[in-house]
Amino acid sequence: MYVKIRQDGSLGIGRGTEGDAEITMGFGEAHMVAAALEKLAQTARNHKQTYLKTTNVGGGNKIDFERADDGTITISGDRQSYICTEQEVRELADRLRHLPPVEVAPPSDYVKKITPSNGLCLIVTNGGNSIKLRLPEAAVMKTAIRSSIDSRYYDETIMIGQRRLVVSRTSDLKWQLRGGESTINFTAFEIEALVAGLHNGILDVLMDLVKSFGADDISDIRVKSVLQRIEQETDKVFGDDKNWRGVVKDLTKRTKSIIGIGEFADERAERFIAMCNYVYGKLDTAFIEPLFDLFANAFVSEG
């Protein structure tokens, strides 16, 4: 089994793969996983332990360690499963306990998660000014900024009901975000970090929801409850018009790919952003506010 420090500072363990098809954990979780591996190696048979991740990396929120009655050792997580010898397990634990020091990229200085209030769960800050955002607002703002980076001039007003957000690029080197009474300026050097911060912030909030489902026998029921809420409330938004039934099913299907157990973490964020872009860019503007109100609550864990 190999141990890899990935570009984002997280750890990957696996065998026979060179890509992302591996079990992933946060750098700071190495010692906890090593302890679980050592216990696994010391137990002769019939042992099972689940480690719940404390970070957002990988495609799942847990790693399972199991030793069957016949002594077979299996390590599973992030859609991957490896059968290991006792020696492999001991060596893997030792590698995780003796990792080289690494400078992990810090989270964005410009976007931070805040305690949810009326759907507001992220805050963009720079130069002493700040704008609080709901999750779908952060998604469409990220898309707008990405579009502006490929331009020489850009000016967009994002309207969601009475909520008005402005993304503008006034020159090759200057960007401006406006929301309410706040105006935040960014330089070309800062704007890429802002995009990364928005993406990571969205992912962080989504993973809080996924973690709230837990890893017990009823976690699937909790997921289905959210799916049912999305289906029922989107149905109410579109009313009795059967022409929108396909959209209701599509949004429910997209939701499942975002919050479903076993999905890759980064793909959750990409799919959520894509869903918000679809609603904002393709549907009748009358539906944007009620759907974004729903997303701002259904995809955010209050706990």
> Has this prediction a pTM greater than 0.85?
no
Average pLDDT of the residues in 120-144: 96
Secondary structure of residue 273 in the 3-state scheme = helix
**Taking a C-beta distance cutoff of 8 angstroms, is the pair 134, 296 a contact?**
yes
Distance, CA of 276 to CA of 257 (rounded, Å): 14
Q: Using the predicted structure, report yes or no on whether residue 303 has a pLDDT greater than 70.
A: no
For 292-302, write each residue's pLDDT tens digit: 999 999 999 87
- What amino acid occupies position 210? V
User: How far is Cα 232 from Cα 237, in angstroms, rounded to an integer?
Assistant: 9
**Nearest Cα to 146, choosing from 199, 205, 204?**
199
CA distance 57 to 245: 35
62-66, 108-112, 116-120, 230-234: which range is least confident on average? 108-112
pLDDT computed for residue 214 by the predictor:
81
Helix, strand, coil tally for the chain in percent (to 5): 45, 25, 30
pLDDT at 149: 87
- Asked whether residue 101 carries a pLDDT value surpassing 60, the answer given is yes
CA 201/CA 218 separation, integer angstroms: 27
Output the pLDDT for position 266.
80
pLDDT at 46: 87
| Percent above pLDDT 90 for the chain | 62
Average pLDDT for the chain: 89
What pLDDT score does 166 carry?
Answer: 97
pLDDT score of 104: 42
Residue 134's DSSP bridge partners are 120
Q: Is the pLDDT of residue 145 over 60?
A: yes
With b meaning 16 or more CB within 10 Å and e meaning fewer, what string describes 55-65?
A: bbbbbbbbbbb
Q: Is the pLDDT confidence value at 110 over 50?
A: yes
Q: What are 148-167's pLDDT values in tens digits? A: 988 889 999 999 999 999 99
CB count in 10 Å sphere of residue 83? 12
Q: Taking residues 198-205, what's their average pLDDT?
A: 92
List, for residues 220-253, the tens digit of each pLDDT value: 899 999 999 999 999 999 987 788 889 999 999 9
pLDDT at 102 over 70: no
Share of residues in the chain with pLDDT > 70 (%)? 95
pLDDT greater at residue 12 or residue 56: 12
- Residue 154: per-residue pLDDT: 94
Given CA atoms 239, 242, 244, 250 in this order, what sign does their dihedral have?
A: positive
Question: Is residue 263's pLDDT more than 60?
Answer: yes
Q: Is the predicted pLDDT of residue 276 greater than 80, yes or no?
A: yes
